[in-house]
């Protein structure tokens, strides 16, 4: 496995909780679970847009058009997985041979 | 009478609604001229259009995009040049009579003779706008609801002067956007906002009186009436500044029963406009 920087590890580890905190506030559902459908109260394009921008700004990642799959955005857990994959991708793409 | 063919649509006013409409129209294959007053507002609109396109992809291509070649969106600060070839114009400028009444004679002057002018107004009577032009038979109201890309229907407002060809042209455009429409007669606030704004204003008054929290008020509408959203979260979505302008317009038409609640005025004065500003009856991360 390629080495990851400590900051990347921290951000991967906190992805689920940070995403959960954001979505819970935006949907005003403090009991939001990791596998709850976050759009169950109805689909709102303004919220969807905010969510994309939140992920990009908070985790310094770029959400590409091919990432915009409904399944990636349905729950906190699936969002956490998307963030984790995006955070790990640059490290794997720039293998410096330290492993 | 037959509908006019529409290829190019002018969207005047590039706020949240205008930018989203531009994206929806382009996705349906129309070439769009998106117009606003300043380069800064057009820059914001360009970002908003890109984000609306991304939302459209995420939300399942529910617009007309997937089966049609997308049209081009051009951006301009000049109605004179941008609307010279427009077949259909959707006006979304600020919900204020002084702004709209200055704009309509200009639209009438610069648009081709055959062009239809559709007012995306929420409270101002369409007939008053039509009377600012020399083409009242080609003016109607298309009240799109927020979010324009997802709501299934549009309130289509006709005046006694609106021609059947004008209505047919508008319904062709709506069909291309995969929208249904509900035809109503012209009247301040039409149906949707005349009823909705009164409800929102009273919900704010209930909150101000300390009868219940914002969460409790909205929960009653969601759980007891089966609404998707309660009145206060709906107000936050619409924008409290827009709600206030709508109420002021309705108060002018119908009297004191639409007088905006003092708490609503204080929110707007404090810059709390709802979701778009990050704070309203609820807090939002922006």
Residue range B43-79, pLDDT digits in tens: 998 988 888 888 888 876 544 444 457 889 999 999 9
Residue range B219-239, pLDDT digits in tens: 999 999 999 889 999 999 889
DSSP string, B18-31: HHHHHHHHHHTT-E
Q: What residues does B283 pair with on adjacent strands?
A: B279
pTM for the predicted model, two decimal places: 0.79
Residue range B133-170, pLDDT digits in tens: 999 999 999 999 877 888 889 999 999 999 999 999 99
Residue B74: strand, helix, or coil: strand
> What is the side-by-side strand order in the sheet with B88-91?
B73-76, B31-35, B8-12, B88-91, B116-119, B139-143, B153-158, B180-185
The CATH number of B193-276, from 3.90.550.10, 1.10.3210.10, 1.10.1040.10, 3.40.190.10, is: 1.10.1040.10
- Residue range A6-91, CATH number: 1.10.1200.10
Catalytic residues of B: 122, 143, 155, 193
Please tell me the predicted confidence (pLDDT) of residue A42. 61
Ranges of CATH 1.10.1040.10 domains, chain B = 193-276
pLDDT higher than threshold 50 for residue B246: yes
Helix, strand, coil percentages in chain B from 3-state DSSP, rounded to 5: 50, 15, 35
Query: What's chain B's average pLDDT?
Result: 92
Q: What residues does B185 pair with on adjacent strands?
A: B158
Helix, strand, coil percentages in chain A from 3-state DSSP, rounded to 5: 65, 0, 35
User: Of A42, A46, A68, which has the smallest distance from its Cβ to B228's Cβ?
Assistant: A42
Rounded to whole angstroms, the Cα distance separating B274 from B264 reads 11
Please tell me the predicted confidence (pLDDT) of residue B53. 84
Please tell me the predicted confidence (pLDDT) of residue A12. 62
Residue B35: strand, helix, or coil: strand
Its CATH class, for the domain covering B8-185, is: alpha beta
Residue B139: strand, helix, or coil: strand
pLDDT higher than threshold 50 for residue A22: yes
Please tell me the predicted confidence (pLDDT) of residue B148. 85
The predicted model gives A76-86 an average pLDDT of: 92
- Segment among A48-62, B25-39, B101-115, B131-145 with least mean pLDDT: A48-62
Tell me the residues of A at the B interface, defined by beta carbons under 8 Å apart.
22, 25-26, 28, 41-50, 52-54, 63, 65, 68-70, 73
- Answer yes or no: do A46 and B57 touch at CB < 8 A: no
Is B261 within 8 Å of B232 (Cβ atoms)?
no
Please tell me the predicted confidence (pLDDT) of residue A99. 38
pLDDT higher than threshold 90 for residue A41: no
ipTM higher than threshold 0.85 = no
pLDDT higher than threshold 70 for residue A91: no
Rounded to whole angstroms, the Cα distance separating B135 from B84 reads 16
User: Of B59, B282, B284, which has the smallest distance from its Cβ to A45's Cβ?
Assistant: B59
Rounded to whole angstroms, the Cα distance separating A11 from B22 reads 37
Query: Mind telling me how many Å the CA of B51 is from chain A's nearest CA?
Result: 6
Tokens of B129: 């706008």
Rounded to whole angstroms, the Cα distance separating B133 from B68 reads 34
Query: Mind telling me how many Å the CA of B47 is from chain A's nearest CA?
Result: 11
Rounded to whole angstroms, the Cα distance separating A65 from B90 reads 29
Q: Which residues, including other chains, have CB under 8 Å from residue B77's CB and lie 6 or more apart?
A: B35, B36, B37, B38, B39, B42
Burial B44-81 (b: 16+ CB within 10 A, else e): bbeebbebbbbbbbbbeeebbbeeeebbebebbeebee
């Amino acid at each position: 496995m390629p080495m990851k920087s400590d900051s990347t590890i921290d951000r991967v580890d906190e992805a689920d909780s940070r995403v959960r905190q954001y979505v819970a506030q935006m949907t005003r559902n403090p009991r939001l679970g990791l596998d709850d459908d976050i759009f169950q109260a109805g689909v709102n394009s303004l919220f969807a847009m905010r969510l994309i921008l939140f992920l990009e700004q908070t985790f310094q990642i770029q959400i590409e058009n091919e990432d915009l799959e409904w399944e990636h955005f349905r729950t906190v857990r699936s969002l956490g997985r998307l963030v984790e994959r995006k955070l790990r991708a640059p490290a794997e793409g720039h293998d410096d041979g330290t492993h | 009478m037959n509908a006019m063919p529409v290829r190019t649509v002018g969207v005047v006013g590039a706020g949240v609604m205008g930018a989203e409409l531009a994206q929806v129209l382009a996705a349906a294959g129309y070439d769009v001229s998106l117009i606003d007053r300043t380069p800064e507002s057009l820059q914001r609109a360009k970002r908003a259009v890109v984000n609306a396109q991304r939302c459209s992809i995420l939300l399942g291509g529910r617009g007309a995009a997937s089966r049609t070649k997308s049209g081009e969106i051009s951006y301009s600060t000049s109605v004179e040049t941008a609307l010279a070839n427009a077949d259909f114009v959707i006006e979304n400028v600020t919900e204020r009579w002084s702004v709209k009444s200055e704009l309509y004679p200009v639209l009438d002057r610069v648009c081709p003779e055959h062009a239809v002018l559709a007012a995306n107004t929420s409270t101002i009577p369409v007939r008053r706008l039509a009377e600012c032009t020399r083409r009242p038979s080609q003016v109607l109201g298309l009240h799109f609801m927020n979010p324009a890309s997802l709501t299934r229907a549009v309130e289509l407002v006709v005046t006694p002067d609106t021609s059947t060809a004008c209505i047919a042209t508008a319904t062709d455009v709506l069909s291309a956007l995969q929208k249904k429409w509900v035809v109503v007669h012209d009247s301040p606030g039409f149906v949707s906002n005349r009823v909705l704004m009164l409800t929102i204003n009273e919900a704010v008054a209930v909150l101000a009186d300390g009868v219940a929290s914002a969460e409790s008020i909205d929960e009653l509408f969601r759980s007891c009436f089966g609404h998707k959203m309660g009145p206060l979260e709906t107000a936050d979505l619409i924008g409290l500044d827009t709600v206030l302008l709508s109420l002021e317009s309705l108060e002018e038409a119908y009297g004191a029963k639409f007088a905006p609640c003092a708490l609503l005025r204080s929110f707007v004065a404090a810059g709390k406009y709802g979701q778009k500003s990050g704070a309203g009856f609820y807090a939002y991360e922006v």
